[in-house]
């Protein structure tokens, strides 16, 4: 599940936004000032920050500037939310790294649409850079070792992650059981080829909509397995 940090000192607005985001399937945390925004981004590790500009303590522009300067947080998308309507404020916000900008009052449906649009753009950028793999409803984040299926985070073991990484980094290539064993269990003795089948079955149970008719991990009779990428 993707996590969104809502930085807003007006409690009514923050709770309205949080409620709407949760209904859309996001996890949400609310903080009310700039100092907490910086520390919470490091601790909570959100997938996105919705950032009000007029905050107690450090203002939103400085929060955004510091987030984009920090290697640990620079790639987290930021949408600024503010009552300021001056075009100069918008330009400044975008120039310091904000990914989008929305003014108050706003329609919550527009905010949700913008959140989804920024996520799509962000996912495409990461996919093109090779930092994530995306195929239909599946997204594998190689940086954070996280798997998302239809927008929800799915827990996988270290071995399952290594196996899925091998297959997704080589879509369309057929791997025999012996090749998979060599890649994943190369340092372990007495691991039988059947082990591969067991882990493939577990992965299918987590990522396939119908494990009896898999769309991602395909069995190639007499040869092994391959991953099929779909748009």
Residues 72 and 100 in one domain: yes
Q: Where are the beta strands (DSSP E) in the chain?
A: 3-7, 27-31, 48-52, 78-82, 100-103, 132-135, 138-141, 146-149, 152-154, 217-220, 224-227
Tell me which residue range forms the domain holding 13: 3-129
Q: pTM here?
A: 0.63
Average pLDDT of adjacent 10-residue blocks, the chain of 231 residues: 91 94 92 93 93 90 92 90 70 77 89 90 71 84 84 87 92 92 77 86 92 91 91 64
pLDDT on residue 87: 64
Place of tokens 């945390």: 29
pLDDT on residue 168: 92
Q: Is 178 helix (H, G, I), strand (E, B) or coil?
A: helix
pLDDT on residue 86: 66
The domain boundary, picked from 72, 105, 129, lies at: 129
pLDDT on residue 2: 84
CATH code, domain carrying 70: 3.40.50.2300
């Amino acid at each position: 599940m993707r996590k969104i940090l809502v930085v807003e000192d007006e409690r009514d607005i923050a709770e309205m936004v949080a409620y709407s985001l949760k209904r859309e399937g996001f996890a949400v945390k609310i903080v009310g000032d700039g100092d907490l925004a910086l520390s919470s981004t490091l601790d909570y590790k959100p997938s996105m920050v919705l950032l009000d500009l007029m905050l107690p303590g450090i203002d939103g522009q400085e929060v955004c500037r510091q987030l984009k300067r920090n290697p640990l947080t620079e790639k987290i998308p930021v949408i600024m939310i503010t009552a300021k309507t001056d075009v100069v404020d918008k330009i400044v916000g975008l120039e310091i790294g904000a990914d989008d900008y929305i003014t108050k009052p706003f329609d919550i449906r527009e905010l949700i649409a913008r959140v989804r649009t920024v996520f799509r753009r962000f996912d495409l950028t990461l996919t093109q850079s090779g930092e994530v793999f995306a195929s239909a409803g599946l997204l594998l984040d190689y940086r954070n070792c996280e798997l998302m299926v239809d927008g929800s985070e799915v827990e996988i073991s270290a071995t399952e992650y290594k196996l899925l990484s091998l297959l997704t980094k080589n879509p369309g290539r057929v791997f025999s059981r012996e090749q998979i064993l060599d890649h994943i269990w190369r340092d372990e003795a007495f691991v039988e080829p059947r082990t591969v089948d067991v882990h493939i079955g577990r992965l299918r149970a987590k990522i396939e909509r119908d494990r009896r008719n898999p769309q991602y991990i395909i069995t190639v009779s007499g040869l092994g397995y391959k991953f099929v990428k779909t748009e």
